[in-house]
Structures are given as C-alpha cells and as structure tokens.
Amino acid sequence: MKRYLGFKSIKSKIAVYIAGIVILFSAVMCTVFLIFFMKYSIDTTADDLMHHTKSISENISGSQSVTDGVSSGRGVSGKGKKNNRNHSGMSGGIKGYIRLANSLADAEVFIIDMKNEDVITGGETVYNTYSDMPKGYMDVIQKSFSGESGVVSDINKRSFRGHIISYAPVYGENDEIIGGVVLDRNMNFMESGIKNVFMIVIMSIVSAIILSVIAGIFLSGRMINSLSVIKNTISEIAKGNTGKKTGLKRNDEIGQLRKSVDTMSEKLKKADEERDKLEKLREEFISNISHELRTPVTVMRGMAEMLSDGIVSDENEKDEMIEKIKNESIYMQRLVNDTLELSRLQNAKFKIDSDIINIQELVSDASRSIRHLAAEKNINVITDISVGETYIKGDYARLRQLILVLGDNAVKFSEENTDVKIKVYTYNNKVRVSVKDRGCGIADSDIENIFERFSRSRDERNKRGTGLGLAIAQRIAKRHNTELKVKSEYQKGSTFYIDFDIYDNVM
C-alpha cells in the first residue's frame, strides 16, 4: 500500500494530509450548509405561503359564497357568475384577483367552493371541479373544509424538487365554512440554486486544496531543509568530525533539536580533546618512566655482570658495588611506588579518605619526621602553629605525605645550619600551612614547571631525586579541592603554602 501510494517524503505526506483535511472539512461544511439551506428555504416559504393563504382567506370570507367573496374581496361590484364551472370564462375581476394573488404569493392559488365544488384558479392549471384535482390537493382541501389550516411539503431530498402547499378555510356570512384556499408554490428553483452553490463550493474546495497544499509544501519544505541540515551535521559528527555545528538559528522544536545536536557535538569535541590529551599524557608518562628506569637498570646490570664475571677481585670494591646496586634498587622502588601513587591520585575513580583532621596534630606529626631529616644537616625546624583547635576534612596519610614532600625539599635545597619554618595560621577564613626555607630558591624560568612530573634539578644534592614529589603533592592538594602554591626568590629561599577550608561541624 505504502509503495503504491509512494508517499515517502514528509512533504508529500503533509500535502496529502492537508488535502484530506480540507476535503473532509468541506464535506462537513457542505452537508451542514445543505441541511440549513433546505430547512431555511422550506421554513421561510411555508411561513410566507401561510401568510398569503390566510390573507386571501380573510379577504374573501364573510360572503354568501366563495365566488361572491372573491368578487367583493377584490372590491368588484356586482356578483360573479355563480355556478359557472368553467372559470376560463369567469369575469375579468375574479380572474384578475386570482392572478394578482398568484403573483403576490408567487404560487398557484386555488379557491374551492365547498357547496358546488367549483375550483377558481388564475394560473395555467384549470380544474372544473374539486374532484378533478390530484389527491395531494384533495387531502388538503378536505382539511380546509374541516376548518384546518396548515402547510405540507413534498420536496425530494435528492433532487431538491417539489412543492410546498398551504391551505386554509374560507368562512361565510355566519362564520360557517364555505370553501377553502390552497396555495401551491413550486420549489424546483432550489435545485438550480443548490447546483450553483455546489459549483461555487467545489471551486472553493479545489482552490483551498491547491492553496493549502502549496502553503503546506512551502512550510514543510523549510522545516525539512532544517532537518536535512541537522541530519547532515549528525552524519559528519558520526564520521568523527566532532565540534561540527548545524549553523541553524531557529527557536521552535527544531531549534531545540539543533541546540541539542550542537551541544552534543561540542561535548563530543571536548571528550575527543580530553581523550587525546590523556593519550598524550599516557605516552609521555611511559616514555618518562622508561627513561628514568634505564639509568639505574643499566648501572645495576653492569655491576652485577662485573661481579658475576669475577672481574672485580678487591673485596672493598665488591662491597661498594653491592652497596651501589642496593641504592639503585631502592631508588627504583621509590620511583615505581611514586609513579603508582601518582597514577592512583590521577584516577578520579580512586577514592581517598575523608577524615576529620585536627590540623595541629597533622602538622606536628609531619614536623617531627622533617626534624628527623633535618638533623643530619643541622637545620633547625621551627613549627609555628598560631591557630587554636582547628579541623579540616581530608585524607590524613596523604596530607602528611604532602607536608613531608615540602619539608624534604626544604631541607634538601637548604644549606647546613639554616632554618626551615613550618607555619599554620588563618588566612581569608581558611587555614594555611606554609613551609619556608632559606635555601637555593627557584629560578623564575623553572618555577612554572616544578609541579610537573619528572621536573627536577640535576645538581649534586638532588642526585637521588625522582622529580615526582611536588607532582604527587599537587595531586593530593587537587584531590582536596585546593592548590599548592609557591613563592620563591632565587638564591634566597622558597615558601610553599596551601589553604584548606575549615571544618566547623565538629561535635
């Protein structure tokens, strides 16, 4: 059926639907019009005829006979020819009256004398006597003779042809019934009237269909063009051209669709960029780690081969090599552990703890370990906690690790017999932890990169540095919705600091 109709496109479907609706609407309108037109025509004709019938009846009532009535009603003096059955020979007065009545009422007028059954008529149809008349007339005449008045219609509902007949009694001098008046209006004019109206209606329907189909095609065409643009954009996106926009400017439902497509495209583009970035990071990471591992592995292998080949015979030298292998393996272990820790912290799905932490305890605990490291270089670690009992939320072990990274660096990059100051104080309604040293400081050109993985100084004091400490510390900070910052003056010293939200809901 579908194939037969061939209406595949929305445009042709809309055109067909519109045409269907117009036809249906017109059919309903025509039927309603016909019903009302017929009812209106019949009712007004019936009223009109009745009105004429009654006025003729009243006009000729009150005489001895119907013929007298007709003559006197007309205002004609003298008496008409009684008993004259052939009214074609009737006086001009009576004929004239009936003709006048005919044309006034636009109907054929029959006046019937009840006594002698004469039929007075002024039209084409002549009946000598009432019994010559067709049955339809005889029925209504009988009714008028019995004092009734009324209207009957015999209009064919298909051909719209027929007659409307009205009737009324005629009264004599003593109010007795002496005859009847019958008016017959031919309603065949309705047929041509309705045919004309039908022609007009059909022409209107055809024009309405043509106009509405053209309007429908035009409007749907605009809609479909927009849909095609959206479809093409989606195809482009599906081919991998993410970020492609529809370029449409509509505010209707199609506009909402294009907005969704544009948003989707933008999000896919961002996801693509994010994926590319992650992929690049992953590649960089693998290349960095393999690079970092290459040196210790080469050193260890060389020394292990020398030992196994028996090249080294001196016991002290052997011990030194074994010590070196041990140190390199410790370094490798640290590198692997730090790398793993960093990748765990970078994974958003990896959950960290959310404890309520007393910041005094945390900083004192970390300071103790830093002091232990500092002792070797006779560095004085000063802890200055100027806040009362203050709490923050976070992962205790990781925050301790963060402070240790800062302390370790401060000690590592400071000269012997200097100070490292660890401070806790409130700043802008937050609690700030800072680690300050009077060490070598960081050059402006390096400061931007120090939080990057494997970014480190290569000098003698940092020969065991992995360059992962600050990267891990910054990751920990980010996982606590804060940031690790630095102020440094080259050759003078550095201050690393971090702000935490104060947790107030402690019972």
Ligand X SMILES: Nc1ncnc2c1ncn2[C@@H]1O[C@H](COP(=O)(O)OP(=O)(O)OP(=O)(O)O)[C@@H](O)[C@H]1O
Single-letter amino acid code for the residue at 264: M
Cβ neighbors of 193 (< 8 A, separation 6 or more) are: none
- Asked if 224 and 11 count as a contact pair (C-beta separation under 8 A), the reply is yes
Question: Burial code of 89-106, b = ≥16 C-beta within 10 A, e = fewer?
Answer: ebbebbbebbeebbeebe
Q: Whole-number minimum distance, CB 260 to ligand X, in Å?
A: 45
- Asked if 395 and 403 count as a contact pair (C-beta separation under 8 A), the reply is no
Among 57, 101, 466, 497, binds ligand X (CB under 6 A): 466
Q: Which does 80 bind (CB under 5 to 8 A by kind): Mg ion, ligand X, none?
A: none
Angle of helix 469-479 relative to helix 315-346, nearest 10 degrees, comes to: 20
Among 439, 475, 479, 480, binds ligand X (CB under 6 A): 439
Backbone φ and ψ for 159, nearest 5 degrees, come out as -90, -10
Q: Whole-number minimum distance, CB 425 to ligand X, in Å?
A: 20
Q: Which does 180 bind (CB under 5 to 8 A by kind): Mg ion, ligand X, none?
A: none
Cα angle: 106, vertex 110, 115; to 5 degrees: 160
Q: Is 437 in the site for ligand X (CB under 6 A)?
A: yes
Q: Which does 410 bind (CB under 5 to 8 A by kind): ligand X, Mg ion, none?
A: ligand X
**Complex with Mg ion: residue 293 or 373, whichever CB lies closer:** 373
Cα-based distances in Å from 345 to 271, 472, 483: 21, 8, 14
Among 455, 485, 501, 503, binds ligand X (CB under 6 A): 455
Q: Is 169 in the site for Mg ion (CB under 5 A)?
A: no
Q: Is 69 in the site for ligand X (CB under 6 A)?
A: no
Q: Whole-number minimum distance, CB 473 to Mg ion, in Å?
A: 8
**Complex with ligand X: residue 331 or 391, whichever CB lies closer:** 331
**Residue at shortest CB range from ligand X:** 469
Among 122, 169, 179, 465, binds ligand X (CB under 6 A): 465
Window of 189-197, 242-250, 309-317, 434-442 that interacts with ligand X by CB under 6 A: 434-442
Cα-based distances in Å from 120 to 30, 101, 180, 408: 42, 12, 10, 138
Site for ligand X in 388-407 (CB under 6 A): 405
**Complex with ligand X: residue 171 or 331, whichever CB lies closer:** 331
Q: Is 409 in the site for Mg ion (CB under 5 A)?
A: yes
Side-chain half-sphere CA neighbours of 61 within 13 A = 17
Give the binding-site size for ligand X (rule: CB under 6 A).
22
Site for Mg ion in 463-482 (CB under 5 A): 469
Q: What does the alpha-carbon distance between residue 93 and residue 86 come to, in Å, rounded to a whole number?
A: 15
Q: Which does 73 bind (CB under 5 to 8 A by kind): Mg ion, ligand X, none?
A: none
Cβ neighbors of 28 (< 8 A, separation 6 or more) are: none
Residues at the interface with ligand X (CB under 6 A) = 405, 409-410, 413, 437, 439-442, 450, 455-457, 462, 465-471, 494
Residues at the interface with Mg ion (CB under 5 A) = 409, 469
